[in-house]
A and B are shown apart, each in its own frame.
Chain A
């Protein structure tokens, strides 16, 4: 049987979910025996592969690069898992949303708060444009499963991965659904 192709992606989040993934400890060795990590912030791959079986997406959708990549991932991936609270709800990343559109926020952070040479970072094609509103992943693309937590405990990640590897439905119940 072909080894499963797994990707992990890091959008608008703190990478805490990926840290928690690394907390899987020795299960990582079992995992490595069964899957190929084809794309991940911890693996230096530049292009998202043309076919991926399972993709864990950490973080909320916060800029135009995230939107673009999210659509590409959806096209090339069988199962997408919203990985952690930022992807599921927007969480801390979305806490700027009540403050309004992005321009005044950038102005406040990069210009008004600057002590020297305040200016809003902008470089077309290099610095991604922030969206006016940070969105949870499922409001941008179809999501197949949700793995909540800030970060999701390693055991919860393992539970989902085990189900995914054995082809079971990726449903969580009870305390495994606890956000935060």
Chain B
């Protein structure tokens, strides 16, 4: 197996293509809206029309605009149909004869809409285009070429240097330089090393990683294999949450296909590099997305974090040096190796290279997945691409980073999205969840929602997180019900600071962020809830709808 073989497979795949194709989304978003029945109806309609030789119905991954699903795209250059129902299948097939006129009575999407036009797909390059259940489909678009180049033509340290030069930073939330992490593991001497893909995506409203795994699983395997070669690991784990059955099944299929083709296993691409990948399924604990807890879970123990240092790069799985990267980080790797570090560094801003995938949710018209260059402003994302608040209301705040992030008020919508700018506003890039709030949302409720999440997900190991989140939640509930006092607000503030500073792992250290950021930007919403300390609660519950 080498580059020529890959090109041959790609050629065969292209030759087998029918002149026209109907790409039908089979990722979780569209499947939940009857996408499976739609795909079956399209296949049936093609058969009935006698077009099986010239039209193929292809199940593909996510096309992004989940709010308008199920989606069907006609290839080449045909219309994108939205909210398609199975009974519309014959009309869509009938319209294939006249390329310029789409089917009547089926909603057609506008490919020039900023939602599509402003995207720069790198991670999502193949999403919605290839069949995620066939390795040939991935190879057809150039898949595994990067891995082949890396293992056959480059030294491991060269690969690390290439990633360093690209400026890629971890997409799991903290933004640690990926190249630096790789070189650290590469330089740590050990007979045994591991590579782990963290696919325990758990932030409420975030589904970037799920989509990549469902739409382009080979990309992750290729990224992991390149990483393993670069750091000197021979075994990898994908730690994926149990709530993602489709992602798990597609990953399993992808791993066995890759093994059969000799892309994984002993002697990858006929070199001396061996790499096997196994899947480990999470059991529903958010904290297992924290790397030390994740490793405990892979080892078969109770998934609780431990103090760092030692970092996984020095002491990871079973005490061996371990590289842990998030799904999106690894999904960038094949593209960087294929196109070169300069290309990647050219995307985005100076300190935040490349693109970022965001999951738009909340009070926004176009919910779904987008991928934009770093440095795109929040306003472009929310108002132009996302279409703003449905019904024309105004955006009050944007929450980024999930339960570890913060709320950014509308006045800062012109902030460019990069690691430093978001941190400066008291939020974080996070893994890519972006929840939009409008004027009807009470910010104390927002803070309370996220605190409830953290309280439920705290593993209970360290005192500040276990007991502190309970008390923060209690104080927010008390304030929200109009029984809180100015003293309660002081205690809340002091407790948030303490939980942030003293908790053992990232979950507890970042749990107070939604409270702290709403206290910072929406203080009046807390103040209006205050009660006089010496009188019993008589004030009615107030919902603040004031603009700032």
Please report A residues at the B interface, Cβ cutoff 8 Å: 71, 74-75, 141-142
Contacts and interface: CB of A to CB of B under 8 A. Distances in A.
B101 interface: no
A75 B534 CA distance: 9
- Interface of B, secondary structure class, is loop
Interface of B: 533-534
A141 B535 CA distance: 9
Contacts, number: 6
6 contacts: A71-B534, A74-B534, A75-B534, A141-B534, A142-B533, A142-B534
Contacts of B533: 142
Contacts of A75: 534
Nearest to A141: B534
Nearest to A71: B534
Contacts of B534: 71, 74-75, 141-142
Contacts of A142: 533-534
A75 B533 CA distance: 12
B531 to A, nearest CB: 14
A70 to B, nearest CB: 10
A74 B533 CA distance: 12
B365 to A, nearest CB: 46
Nearest to A75: B534
Nearest to B533: A142
The 6 nearest A-B residue pairs measured at CB? A74-B534, A142-B533, A71-B534, A141-B534, A142-B534, A75-B534
A104 B172 CA distance: 50
Contacts of A141: 534
Nearest to A138: B487
B509 to A, nearest CB: 29
B538 to A, nearest CB: 13
B467 to A, nearest CB: 16
A126 to B, nearest CB: 22
B19 to A, nearest CB: 72
Nearest to B535: A71
A75 B535 CA distance: 11
A90 to B, nearest CB: 16
A148 to B, nearest CB: 20
A141 B485 CA distance: 12
Nearest to B485: A142
B489 to A, nearest CB: 15
Nearest to A142: B533
B487 to A, nearest CB: 8
A141 B532 CA distance: 12
B91 to A, nearest CB: 62
A137 to B, nearest CB: 14
B45 to A, nearest CB: 62
A142 B490 CA distance: 15
A71 B533 CA distance: 11
Contacts of A74: 534
Contacts of A71: 534
A142 B534 CA distance: 8
Nearest to A67: B536
A16 to B, nearest CB: 29
B400 to A, nearest CB: 37
A135 to B, nearest CB: 13
B539 to A, nearest CB: 17
A71 B534 CA distance: 7
B220 to A, nearest CB: 49
B380 to A, nearest CB: 49
B507 to A, nearest CB: 28
B536 to A, nearest CB: 8
B485 to A, nearest CB: 10
A89 to B, nearest CB: 16
A74 B535 CA distance: 11
B426 to A, nearest CB: 31
A138 to B, nearest CB: 10
A142 B487 CA distance: 10
A27 B533 CA distance: 37
A142 B488 CA distance: 12
B180 to A, nearest CB: 49
A101 B55 CA distance: 69
A7 B134 CA distance: 84
A146 B256 CA distance: 68
B470 to A, nearest CB: 15
A37 B237 CA distance: 75
B339 to A, nearest CB: 63
B486 to A, nearest CB: 12
A168 B380 CA distance: 62
B191 to A, nearest CB: 54
A132 to B, nearest CB: 14
A142 B533 CA distance: 8
Nearest to A74: B534
A175 B533 CA distance: 32
A48 to B, nearest CB: 16
A141 B487 CA distance: 12
Nearest to B487: A142
B81 to A, nearest CB: 57
A12 B65 CA distance: 62
